[in-house]
Amino acid sequence: MPTVPYGWYAVLRSAELRPGKVVNLHYFGRALIAFRASDGQAAVRDAHCPHYGAHLGVGGKVVDGTVECPFHGWRFGTDGRCVEAPFAVRTPKVSIGGFPVREHSGLVFVYAGPPGESAADQTSQGESAAAEPAWEVPEIPEAVSREFAAPVDDTCTARIHIQEMRENIVDESHFHFIHGQAEPPVQDWRVDGPFAEVRGRIRRRVFGWDVDNTFDAFMYGPGVMVVRTHGPVLSVTAVALSTPVDDRTSELRMLYYLRKPARAPFLTPLFKLLFRREALGEVREEVRIWDHKIHRARPVLLTHEKGIKALRRWYAQFYPPGLP
C-alpha cells in the first residue's frame, strides 16, 4: 500500500504552534517545519533550504512572518516562496514545498494529495505541490465546548500502515478480546464519498459498572476519525488522528474529550483519571499487536466479520488510481 493515502492529516495541536516559533515535524517521510505568519496563519513546509540545504527548523527563526534560514539568511513566506536572499541582485525564484493548511477545532491540518498542475506551486525539487483538496474536515464542536473537559492527550507510534489503524474500529471480533465486550457488536456502516460512519453499541463492565453505550464513529478521509460514545454514566468524544511518519511507522494521536458531569463537575478530574487507567492500557495492548502483525491482503474472515471488507472498499478511493 502507498505510504500516504490522499487526505487531511492533523500534524499539530494549535496550542503547540506559538507565534514567533518554528516547530520541527517529521511526517510522510519528510522533514517539515511549521510556523505562523504575522497574521497568525499557520504554514507547514519542507524543512530544508533550497539554497544550500540547511534545516530551517534548527537555528532558523521567524522574522516578520517569514522563516529565516540560520545559515545564509534566506527568508521564505507561508506560501513557501523565497522573499529575501541577502546579497542577491534579484530574489531567486525558488520555493520550499509544503501543504494546503486548515486550522480549526484546536488542530492544524495539512492535505497530502496528488500533485497539482500549477507552475506557481513548484517546489524546490521541481515537483508540483499537492493539489487543493475537493473536501474539508468538518469542525469538531467538542473541542471548543465548555461542556467538555480539556482532552486527555495520548500519542503512540506503531509499525503498521494507517489503514490498519482505521480498520480497528470495524474489526468486530477484537472488541471481545481487547475491550472486554461479551460478543462482537453489530455495526451499521454508511458511506458518503470521502466520509463514512459506523454505528454500534459498547456493552461491557468497567470498575464494577455495567456500561451500555452507543457509539458513532465518523470518518473524514484516511487520517481523521471522531468517535462519540454516549451513556448514562459517561459520554466521551475520541478524536483519532492517524498520520504516516514514514514508510514503516504510523502515529496515532488520541484526544479524549470527556463531558463534564452536569450535577457534579468537580468530579471531572476523577473521571479523567479513571478513564486514563482503563482506556490507555487497551490502546497500548493494540499497539503491541500492531508492532508485530503483518498485512493480510486477503484475510480469512468469519461470517459476522463484515466491517473490514466494507472499510477497505471505501478506503480504496484515497490511493492513486490503477492500484490493485
Cα distance between residue 34 and residue 49, in whole Å: 14
Each of the 324 residues of the chain gets a pLDDT tens digit; together they read: 788 999 999 999 999 999 999 999 999 999 999 999 999 999 999 999 999 999 999 999 999 999 999 999 999 999 999 999 999 999 999 999 999 999 999 999 999 998 764 434 445 444 456 778 999 999 999 999 999 999 999 999 999 999 999 999 998 888 778 777 767 777 899 999 999 999 988 776 555 556 677 889 999 999 999 999 987 777 899 999 999 999 999 999 999 999 988 777 888 888 888 888 878 888 889 999 999 999 999 999 988 889 999 999 999 999 988 776
Q: What are phi and psi of 89, to 5 degrees?
A: -65, -40
- For every residue of the chain, which 3-state class applies, written as one string? CCCCCCEEEEEEEHHHCCCCCCEEEEECCEEEEEEECCCCCEEEEECECCCCCCECCCCCEEECCEEECCCCCCEECCCCEEEECCCCCCCCCCECCECCEEEECCEEEEEECCECCCHHHECCCCCECECCCCCCCCCCHHHCCCCECCCEEEEEEECCCHHHHHHHHHCCCHHHHCCCCCCCCCCEEEEECCEEEEEEEEEEEECCEEEEEEEEEEEECCCEEEEEEECCCCCEEEEEEEEECCCCCEEEEEEEEEECCCCCHHHHHHHHHHHHHHHHHHHHHHHHHHCCCCCCCCCCCCCCCCHHHHHHHHHHHHCCCCCC
The model carries a pTM of 0.91
Residue 171 CA neighbour count, 13 Å, CB half: 15
**The pLDDT of residue 205:** 59
**The pLDDT of residue 200:** 86
Cα distance between residue 145 and residue 229, in whole Å: 16
Type of residue numbered 184: P
Type of residue numbered 30: R
Name the residue among 41, 15, 43, 34 with its Cα closest to residue 255. Answer: 15
Please state the separation of Cα 155 from the chain's center in Å: 11
